[in-house]
């Protein structure tokens, strides 16, 4: 849904500047506290991750699906997910496990 997405560059910059971060070999996730509303998600998958748009889009769909399934505890956070090259080379289960760990960490570190 459009209201659950970061749409403007200033939203991305504000979230990243907040410096609440979780990272591993597949993703870096930045989070920033919001005053009101549900969680919002921004995704960055550069050409460095894959030259093929099909693969980049598949990875973005996986991130959105994981967010959709786990967004309830993330209420009140803006999140920016930046994919790393290894995320393109791993299977879906590892991607899901990595993202679930990120959601838990940013909720505990940044959601207070």
pLDDT tens sequence for the chain (112 residues): 677 899 899 999 999 998 899 999 999 999 999 887 889 999 999 999 999 999 999 999 999 999 999 989 899 899 999 999 999 999 999 999 999 999 999 999 987 6
Q: Which CATH architecture has domain 2-110?
A: 2-Layer Sandwich (3.30)
Q: Which residue matches tokens 């997910």?
A: 81
pTM for this model (two decimals): 0.91
pLDDT computed for residue 99 by the predictor: 96
Strands (E), the chain: 20-23, 27-33, 40-44, 77-83
Contact (Cβ atoms closer than 8 angstroms) between residue 97 and residue 105: no
Largest CA distance in the chain: 39
CA 112 to centroid of chain Cα atoms: 18
pLDDT computed for residue 1 by the predictor: 67
């Amino acid at each position: 849904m459009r209201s659950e997405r970061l749409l403007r560059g200033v939203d991305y910059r504000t979230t990243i500047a907040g410096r609440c971060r979780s990272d591993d070999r597949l993703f870096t996730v930045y989070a920033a506290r919001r005053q009101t509303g549900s969680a919002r998600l921004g995704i960055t998958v550069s050409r460095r991750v894959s030259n093929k748009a099909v693969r980049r889009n598949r990875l973005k769909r996986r991130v959105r699906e994981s967010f959709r399934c786990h967004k309830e505890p993330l209420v009140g956070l803006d999140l920016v997910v930046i994919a790393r090259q290894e995320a393109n080379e791993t299977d879906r289960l590892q991607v899901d496990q990595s993202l679930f760990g990120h959601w838990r960490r940013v909720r505990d570190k940044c959601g207070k």
